[in-house]
Structure 1
């Protein structure tokens, strides 16, 4: 990818080490406030009520048809990401939704989630043959990916036309509950790439950001499939 023009006037001011440490210390105060606010919000999330899931939602995986409880793989918690990969997606069947593909690239090694008794899976309307081929091509073999059976899961959990993450909890009697849902920019907490860019002087380089004049600013939400960047 070719770097965009960056005139000297657009660069951060150059200061002494002492001045830089002073500015960094001031920003650190704000960052710690933000961290505490994020912790408080997470505490509220943990106190959200939940809804029991009684319907028998069905999915197809590599081993055949399974139910929602099976997606837990014996663990206590489950995150389900609705990945748009079907005949309506541009590039079908060789490509999935660009934004969904971006998220799939950011999924961590699942052993870390599993160590906290939590599973993560993706679900789509595409058949298992198409899913298996795309996983091989994109390098997502480590992520469980199931085929939706019918439209009921997507409709009941707010993802018929929009990506999103639904979170479920299993009790000791194998009863399943929905505890949380997030879509839109709410899924950014799952995208370490954006967090890394936020640490840089140029940021995400998108037009919506409050950025000093002259810095690169391109159209927002320009995530692409990793094999398509220029």
Structure 2
């Protein structure tokens, strides 16, 4: 749609169109609630494999990562061994984590980030971005492979690499995702949910704002406009101010 030639109507006509669209929005809300209930009803998988992570307090198990809470949410951040900076798309999403954690940690939920690179390799990037969330390394374990966010180079070459529950047409060795785990009173850990690709959209609050706007996300390819938050060019109107000396 060319927004420069967008239909313009009276206020009364606009209200009628908005009311019709509101009925569709309410249908979507009810469907979203239904999908959320179905998601909670999915069967679980007991985690019997031992995973060890490296972080600011040294080595920690998957159980340790819960930090005394019943629910653990792990964002699988694309930062592979040898990388100098993290994936811009993952960084876009990660910019929303600290604000969410202000509330989630008070609701029996631990939210943190895991990457495949050794822990020391992403410390300077984390400081550069100014993030406070806990960021762990799964280096040396099968964790990223087992939860569908890393594949072997041989599988890529053979065309058998899988991502998002299917064979991936254009995989990388590291890919984004989110996994949810629950720990019961007996200390048993269960994998309850994972999502990938466009399933991560709901975690990016900035996208929800953009979806309300006349131009929408205004991108030719997903996140083609987005940069690390310290790499946006300064907008012309921000270069000076009426109070500048």
TM-score category (smaller protein): 0.7 to 0.9
1:185 counterpart residue number: 198
Distance 2:46 2:221 in 1: 41
1:155 counterpart residue number: 145
Distance apart, 1:39 and its partner CA: 0.3
* Mapped contact 2:51–2:141 kept (Cα < 8 A): no
Distance 2:186 2:76 in 1: 26
- Show structure 1 runs of 5+ residues with no match: 1-6, 207-217
TM-superposition CA deviations, 1:126-175 (whole Å, max 9, x none): 3333333222110112x110011314111111111321111100000111
TM-score (norm 2): 0.80
Matched position secondary structure for 1:74 = coil
The farther-off stretch of 127-136 and 34-43 is 127-136
Distance 2:187 2:193 in 1: 18
Q: Tell me, yes or no, if structure 1 residue 144 matches structure 2 residue 144.
A: no
TM-superposition CA deviations, 1:81-137 (whole Å, max 9, x none): 11121345xxx32x2111111111122330211122111111112333333322211
Q: Which structure carries more relative contact order (alpha carbon 8 Å, separation 6+)?
A: 1
Which of these residues, 217, 222, 225, is aligned with residue 228 of structure 2?
A: 225
Q: How many residue pairs end up in the alignment?
A: 208
Q: Tell me, yes or no, if structure 1 residue 97 matches structure 2 residue 87.
A: yes
Q: How does 1:128-139 map to 2 (within 5 A)?
A: 128-139=119-130
2:54 counterpart residue number: 60
TM-superposition CA deviations, 1:56-103 (whole Å, max 9, x none): 100011011000011111111111111121345xxx32x211111111
2:236 counterpart residue number: none
Distance apart, 1:220 and its partner CA: 3.0
Matched position secondary structure for 2:148 = coil
Distance apart, 1:53 and its partner CA: 0.2
Matched position secondary structure for 1:109 = helix
2:157 counterpart residue number: none
TM-score (norm 1): 0.85
Distance apart, 1:226 and its partner CA: 1.4
Two-structure CA RMSD over aligned residues (Å): 1.8
* Mapped contact 2:54–2:119 kept (Cα < 8 A): yes
1:4 counterpart residue number: none
Distance 1:180 1:44 in 2: 11
Which of these residues, 73, 83, 108, is aligned with residue 79 of structure 1?
A: 73
- Show structure 2 runs of 5+ residues with no match: 151-173, 234-245
Distance 1:198 1:136 in 2: 31
Distance 1:70 1:131 in 2: 21
